[in-house]
Amino acid sequence: SREGVIDAAYNQIYSTQVEEDVAELEKLGNSLATRQDFVQMALAFIERISTGDERRQNRLMRIRIVAAATKRPELRHLISESQSRLSDEFTRLVTFAQGEGWIRSDIPAHAITTLLQSTTYGRTFDDLSLHPLSDQEWSQVAHAALAAFLLPNQ
């Protein structure tokens, strides 16, 4: 069916973008040794996925696909596997950081991950604004959001 072909294409686009993010998280996660490593990795990852024209287009495409999936159960099923891989890898890193005492453990790791992801993709709304934030302004607020979860240096 026509819808099946569109779903397959959307799934391919979504999965490719997500797998790029998962690969980067895995690579970064394997190099964590200190709190400073974690902070630098997290900030770099958040900035990479939320700034620049290419990432803006990626965010818009992901939002378009998610919107389509709300009315198409098969598409939702297809993309949920990729999204779960991304969420699981990000959650694994946050759980590791919590275990090391680098990040608050009174909030579940998955909740922190979900908030950081939703904040990043929520930037799409600002992308559509007549007066969107600059990448520098966005980075400043993204850093503040991450800082809210960090524990003080010990």
pLDDT at 44: 84
- Helix (H, G, I), strand (E, B), or coil: what is residue 29? helix
Most confident of 45-49, 71-75, 112-116, 137-141: 71-75
In the chain, the amino acid numbered 70 is T
Higher pLDDT, 43 or 14: 14
- In sequence order, the 6+-apart residues with CB closer than 8 A to the CB of 122 are none
48-61 residue pLDDT tens = 888 888 888 888 89
Q: Are 103 and 151 in contact (CB under 8 A)?
A: yes
pTM: 0.83
Pair 133, 126: CB distance under 8 Å: yes
Alpha carbons 25 and 107: distance in angstroms, whole number: 21
Q: Which two three-digit tokens encode residue 47?
A: 């900035």
Q: How confident is the model at residue 45 (pLDDT cuts 50, 70, 90)?
A: confident
Please, what's the largest Cα pairwise distance for the chain? 59
For residues 65 and 14, is the Cβ–Cβ distance under 8 A? yes
User: Could you read off the pLDDT of 79-138 as tens digits, one per residue?
Assistant: 999 999 999 998 998 999 999 999 899 999 999 999 888 887 888 888 888 999 998 998
- pLDDT per residue as tens digits for the range 15-43: 999 998 888 888 887 888 888 888 888 88
- Identify whether the C-beta of residue 121 lies closer than 8 Å to the C-beta of residue 59: yes
Angle at 125 between CA 119 and CA 129, to 5 degrees: 135
